[in-house]
Amino acid sequence: MKQHCQEKSMKQDAICEVEALIATLGIIYFQVFCESEP
């Protein structure tokens, strides 16, 4: 993901960081949700 961000222009860095954050939170939420299931 970081290599993908580095390939973008400086103006898009913030957007890429947000996309990476959302993806990370999504993975964490998915793991927690699955672990909470019996």
Query: What are the domain boundaries of the chain?
Result: 2-36
Provide, for the chain, the percentages of residues in helix, strand and coil under a 3-state DSSP scheme, each rounded to the nearest 5: 85, 0, 15
What is the pLDDT at residue 13?
81
Are 4 and 16 in contact by the 8 Å Cβ rule? The answer is yes
pLDDT tens, 1-38? 455 555 556 667 888 889 999 999 999 999 998 887 76
What is the pLDDT at residue 38?
66
